[in-house]
Structure 1
Amino acid sequence: MSRPALLATDLDGTLLRSDGTLSDRTRAAVAAAEESGVEVVFVTARPPRWLDELADAVGGHGVALCGNGAFVLDVARREVVESHPFAPADLRVLLADLRAAVPGIGFAVECADGMRRDEHFLDAHRDDAVGHDLEAVGAGKLLARAPDVEQEAFLTRVSEVVGDRAELGYSGAVGLAELTPRGVTKASGLQTWCTERGIAARDVWACGDMPNDLPMLAWAGRALAVANAHPDVLAAADEVIGSNDDDGVAQVLERLTAL
């Protein structure tokens, strides 16, 4: 099997271990792959503000595709160089429809310059950024939470209300619905990145673990699922590799570097 030009990988649950760390083995494997000519690109649901700790591991291109395709981040400079936000009018209607359908729902938005949330969106890690006009800040990703509604029922209800007006991507975050503008997915972000560099889908391998990775896995020439992946991802994969805690992506990169 020929080597890909690029390996795209999700972070949490895929490249990173269960404690959220990047192992020394994986860090070395990413660097060796880049040196051997296989570009590695991080494609993640994480917002731009959660990528600082990986600045030394993103490779020579220096960027990460984050927010489920909504942002392209220059990690070292901490600068969003491209974004695909909701149109304010569209977001306003979505918020109104979801508030009417799910009493007590809370919202936050991820933007190029950080997160804003309303008073109903409880976040144990933040006590700031409350009360902003969520529809007017160039939101690339909408987060919704309803603590009193069971997870599966909540996601089902959100999906019913939203329909095809936005993309609902499930990354495994408990109690959270994650929405990006219509057509904005990990696949769209990766496709744009590759097209700009003359890389065809057939020359891309993609690694993931959760349903929000499925569009990217379907677009790429070869789809790899870590052993700990969601059943839908395991079913869609061309190959099941080692788990995130066994450095499965690093094993693949080491194999490619040795070719």
Structure 2
Amino acid sequence: MTLPRLVASDLDGTLLRSDGTVSPRTRAALRAVEDAGVEVVLVTARPPRWLDALADCVGDHGRVVCLGGAAVWDLASGTALDVQGFADDDVRALAADLRDAVPGVALALERTSGPVFDPWFPPDETGLPAHVRAATVEESLGGAVHEPGTVGKVLAVLPGRGLSTRVGDVQRGDVRDPAQEEFFAAVRAAVGDRAHLAFSGAAGLAELLPAGVTKDRALARWSARLGIDAADVWAFGDMPNDLPMLRWAGRGVAVANAHPDVLACADTVVASNDDDGVADLLESVLALR
């Protein structure tokens, strides 16, 4: 087995341990493969504001595919290099249909410039300015309280369900939970083909991306810019929203703690995130050089 030209890894539940940290062993393994000429790209559902602490995991370039594939973020400059988002009118229509389909639903919008939340969206994330909850999300689309930047993701939370959105504290929800499945079915019916419904592991949370926006497509665009084919990419993941990326890559790798659907799809299964599964595979290949 030889090293690929690019290593792409999901963060929560894959590269990060359960406490939200990157182990010294994993950091060292990522540095070693970059020193060997391999491009390392993090691919995550996280928004840009949750990425600064991980800058030293992506070598000198500091680029991350974030928001589930809606943006490529440059950590060094704090700017978006590529954004695939919703038009404001499309967000208004989606929000109206979601509120009709799921009374009491709590919505949030994620832009590369920052979020805006319904006032009743679960307030688990600390350190955000008060104005992000000053109005419903619809009122942030244009007008005096407009937040700059394209909406990359729409979040919807199951009414009455708490949600942990803090870094390192993502809940590993059971996608077969009946209430959650009923919620997802209602969301799918409301949005139709206007948005892609993703599940990254937070219980009670539906993540809506623009139609055609997925981790694999964002990674494919970025790889093409670097002149790297899918066959020369290894992708690591743990949740259903990682499946398209794992199928696209030349080698799709699941950590042992992955969702059953991901384990069934993977070309290779490595140790869990808490046992440094990503590092274990990279180290074993480096040792053969």
Deviation per residue, 1:51-94 (Å, 9 max, x gap) = 01111221122111100001111113222222111011211111
Q: In structure 2, what residue type is equivalent to 1:211? A: P
Please tell me whether residue 175 in structure 1 is matched to residue 175 in structure 2.
no
Deviation per residue, 1:110-136 (Å, 9 max, x gap) = 111111111232222247201153444
Give the match for residue 69 of structure 2.
69
- Per the normalisation by structure 1, the TM-score is 0.96
Please tell me whether residue 240 in structure 1 is matched to residue 269 in structure 2.
yes
Name stretches of at least 5 consecutive residues in structure 1 with no aligned partner: none
Deviation per residue, 1:161-207 (Å, 9 max, x gap) = 22221111100011111111011110111001000011000111100
Please tell me whether residue 146 in structure 1 is matched to residue 158 in structure 2.
yes
For 1:195, which of 224, 231, 239 is the aligned residue? 224
Q: In structure 1, what residue type is equivalent to 2:240? A: P
Please tell me whether residue 215 in structure 1 is matched to residue 227 in structure 2.
no
Deviation per residue, 1:210-240 (Å, 9 max, x gap) = 0010111111111100000001100110111
Q: CA deviation at 1:256?
A: 2.7
Q: CA deviation at 1:95?
A: 0.8
Q: CA deviation at 1:155?
A: 1.6
Secondary structure, counterpart of 2:82 in structure 1 = strand
Indicate conservation of the 8 Å contact 1:106/1:145, yes or no: yes
Secondary structure, counterpart of 2:151 in structure 1 = coil
Q: Partners in 1 of 2:124 and 2:237 — Cα distance?
A: 27
Q: Partners in 1 of 2:103 and 2:110 — Cα distance?
A: 22
Q: Partners in 2 of 1:63 and 1:253 — Cα distance?
A: 20
Indicate conservation of the 8 Å contact 1:109/1:134, yes or no: no
Give the match for residue 83 of structure 1.
83
Q: CA deviation at 1:145?
A: 0.8
Secondary structure, counterpart of 1:177 in structure 2 = strand
Q: CA deviation at 1:148?
A: 2.9
Deviation per residue, 1:20-67 (Å, 9 max, x gap) = 000000000000010011211100000000001111221122111100
Matches within 5 A, 1:1-259: 1-126=1-126, 128=130, 129-130=132-133, 131=135, 133-136=139-142, 137=147, 138-148=150-160, 150-258=179-287, 259=289
Secondary structure, counterpart of 2:17 in structure 1 = coil
Name stretches of at least 5 consecutive residues in structure 2 with no aligned partner: 162-178
Indicate conservation of the 8 Å contact 2:30/2:279, yes or no: yes
Indicate conservation of the 8 Å contact 2:40/2:58, yes or no: yes
Q: In structure 2, what residue type is equivalent to 1:179? A: L
Taking only the aligned residue pairs, the percentage that are identical comes to 56
Q: Partners in 2 of 1:223 and 1:124 — Cα distance?
A: 33
Secondary structure, counterpart of 1:163 in structure 2 = helix
Q: Partners in 2 of 1:165 and 1:81 — Cα distance?
A: 24
Q: Partners in 1 of 2:152 and 2:61 — Cα distance?
A: 22
Q: In structure 2, what residue type is equivalent to 1:180? A: L
Aligned residue pair count: 259
Q: Partners in 2 of 1:68 and 1:139 — Cα distance?
A: 12
Q: Partners in 2 of 1:177 and 1:229 — Cα distance?
A: 19
